[in-house]
Amino acid sequence: MIVPMKKYIFLVHHSDYIGFLDELRGLGVLHVKYQETEPSEELLRRIRLQKDIRDTLAALRHRIVPKTEGEPLSESGGIAITRTFQELTDQQESLQQELNALQKEALFLKPWGDFSPASLRLLEQGGLKVRLFICPARKFDPEWEQKYPLEIINTIPPNIYFITVTPTEEPLSIDAEEIPAPEVSLRSLVSRSEALQLKIDAIDKKLDNFTLMAQPALEEALAKVEEGIQLVTVVENTRKAVEDAVMMLEGFAPVNREEDIVRFCEQRRALFLSAKPTPEDKPPVLLKNSAFSRLFEPIGELFSLPAYQEVDLTPYFAPFFMLFFGFCLGDAGYGMVVLLGASLYKLRAREKFKPVLSLAQFLGIGTIIFGVLTGTVFGINLLEEQFTWLGGIRNFMIDSNQAFQLALILGMVQILFGLFLQAYNKARQYGFLYSIATYGWIILLLSILDLAVLKRTGAVSTYTAWLGVGLILLFNDPKAGFFGRLGKGIWELYGITGFFGDLLSYIRLFALGISSAILGFVVNDISLQIKEGIPYLGPVLFVVFLIVGHGANLLISSLGSFVHPLRLTFVEFYKSAGFSGGGKPYRPFSKEKAK
């Protein structure tokens, strides 16, 4: 359900406003209504600082450092650490680029060995030219050695590296690539590379020490900067009145915290106004559900929070989602693996991960239920003749035809349930008159179901079908005139094809369940062939292939079993329920560390 909110407007003298905000933040209940204004330079500066600290923290957390005793930091405070960290990382990146260039140059010179470029220049001053050549071995002509003073320096397939020493003006006729003489020696490059590496290692050591010692200070600085951003944002979104002498702060708080706000204002002797919010105020949304439904709130938030005036659909789609996941995965063995794995991991997991693992436990239970219902355990079909020893238990299991029908039945139930929710929501928001057309759709669909499928009360269903059509034509828009309603109603009746399309979408539950079972059967069949066809190692490979095969099938099928119920929820069910969404989460102005 959506927690009811109350709207507040506080009137505070400008000289007392910062102190008022500080105490109000300590109360931690007011969701401030922000105006659409351009952020100031001060706010942008704080946001950039926040990003810098977060980036520094993220970089330090990704560094792998042995847990040893770190040295005390020379920097005092998280902001100074951030600045130093940025300077060190920039310097290290620059040094690394220089080192890479030197190493590339050294790699180029390595085939020529270590020689002095100064000696080459002395020879050139004496009238002798030393030329360096690279030639593929297959193109090297031995006559060059007879014709010119030539020395092969190195042979590294597929190339030959050689030099010639000739008078400066003497022309050469050698079909090989000549490279310019190097300006520095290989020894010099290696020496400079080693010096750069020492500098990089020194910076690494400093960064390692930051990783061990700086994170608490950075987290504390981040919390302070975020508090400052929050405070500046609130100040900049405050309206001013009476020649800027009075500050007007507008916001929302849950109705169950009204006493806290009244007591706070009485202690502060602050003037405030309160009222029930209207849809135009766009109050924030705070969900409050049962322990079971609360596990599915993150799934609903993947699409959107409901608008404040809407019904929260989380408690209503949660059981369906659990069943649909089980239907798609459809193997009791896989369900037991999911349930057992989530239960064991939950014993050691952090508190923030436990709701996700609890959700996995319920999804595992749903899978076990449908696995037993369809008679599938690790790809084994319990409906086959060799399992007659199960006796009466098999009477509760369904075959593929019945599973197909069950998928359609569940789809029809969810669509009709969504329409009932839509009718209730319209009646609650606008009055009963606005919900009549939706009830007309429910009557029409049930009548068509009776005529097309049940075929038991055809005459009655015909009359009720026309009743549903009449309600849709006459009450689709109570504000419009008669002919306007009639025209709009005829157009809406054309949309009945959409209901049948939505219903057929639920066949995916059956298809995914069947595909998961078939893949499990294939894994078992191949495993048995390995066991029987390979002597000695057959039993070992049999077990290995079973584990790997069923593990892969579980992972792949689980992904589809999550995504497709998600689609059925957000498209078919939300459309039937008339969900509009667009709600903004309730985020109180508080001193708690931002998540």
Segment 10-44, tens digit of pLDDT: 888 888 888 888 888 888 888 888 877 777 888 88
In the predicted model, is pLDDT for residue 486 greater than 90? no
Q: What is the pLDDT of residue 135?
A: 92
Burial label for 506, CB within 10 Å (0-12, 13-18, 19+), is buried
Q: What is the pLDDT of residue 155?
A: 92
Q: Which residue has the higher pLDDT, 367 or 428?
A: 367
Dig out the tokens for 472 from the structure.
Answer: 């849709």
In the predicted model, is pLDDT for residue 267 greater than 70? yes
The helix/strand count (H/E) of the chain reads as 21, 11
In the predicted model, is pLDDT for residue 529 greater than 50? yes
SS (H, E, C) 494-526: HCHHHHHHHHHHCHHHHHHHHHHHHHHHHHHHH
Q: What is the pLDDT of residue 266?
A: 85
Dig out the tokens for 282 from the structure.
Answer: 């766009």
56 within 8 A of 81, measured Cβ to Cβ: yes
Q: Which residue has the higher pLDDT, 475 or 589?
A: 589
Please list, in sequence order, all residues whose beta carbon lies within 8 angstroms of the beta carbon of residue 218, skipping any fewer than 6 positions away: 53, 56, 57, 60, 78, 81, 82
Domain residue limits, the chain: 1-36+237-301+582-595, 38-108+185-234, 115-184, 311-576
Residue 262 identity: V
Please list, in sequence order, all residues whose beta carbon lies within 8 angstroms of the beta carbon of residue 450, skipping any fewer than 6 positions away: 456, 457, 458, 460, 461
Q: Which residue has the higher pLDDT, 496 or 567?
A: 567
418 within 8 A of 576, measured Cβ to Cβ: yes
Give the Å distances, CA to CA, from 522 to 347, 383, 540.
Answer: 34, 17, 18
Q: What is the pLDDT of residue 132?
A: 92
Q: What is the pLDDT of residue 459?
A: 56
If pLDDT is split at 50, 70 and 90, which confidence band does 452 have? low
* DSSP designation for 29: -
If pLDDT is split at 50, 70 and 90, which confidence band does 136 have? very high
232 within 8 A of 43, measured Cβ to Cβ: yes
Least confidently predicted of 131-140, 236-245, 282-291, 368-377: 236-245
- Mean residue pLDDT of the chain comes to 86
Least confidently predicted of 112-126, 287-301, 408-422: 112-126
1-36+237-301+582-595: CATH topology: Alpha-Beta Plaits (3.30.70)
Least confidently predicted of 17-26, 241-250, 420-429, 489-498: 489-498
Q: What is the pLDDT of residue 161?
A: 93
Dist CA 472 CA 484 (whole Å): 12
If pLDDT is split at 50, 70 and 90, which confidence band does 389 have? low
Dig out the tokens for 146 from the structure.
Answer: 């007879």
If pLDDT is split at 50, 70 and 90, which confidence band does 592 have? low
Dig out the tokens for 10 from the structure.
Answer: 């506080």
Dist CA 581 CA 521 (whole Å): 42
pLDDT digits (tens, 9 = 90+) for 284-338: 999 999 999 999 999 988 888 988 888 889 999 999 999 999 999 988 999 999 9
Give the Å distances, CA to CA, from 532 to 80, 162, 519, 526.
Answer: 69, 64, 20, 10
Q: What sign has the CA pseudo-torsion 265, 270, 275, 277?
A: negative
| Among the listed residues 507, 332, 496, 334, the one whose alpha carbon sits nearest the alpha carbon of residue 404 | 507
Strand boundaries in 141-295, DSSP class E: 150-156, 159-167, 177-179, 239-241, 246-254, 271-275
Please list, in sequence order, all residues whose beta carbon lies within 8 angstroms of the beta carbon of residue 227, skipping any fewer than 6 positions away: 25, 591
In the predicted model, is pLDDT for residue 220 greater than 50? yes
In the predicted model, is pLDDT for residue 272 greater than 80? yes
Q: What is the pLDDT of residue 594?
A: 42
Q: What is the pLDDT of residue 595?
A: 39
397 within 8 A of 372, measured Cβ to Cβ: yes
In the predicted model, is pLDDT for residue 171 greater than 60? yes
Burial label for 421, CB within 10 Å (0-12, 13-18, 19+), is buried
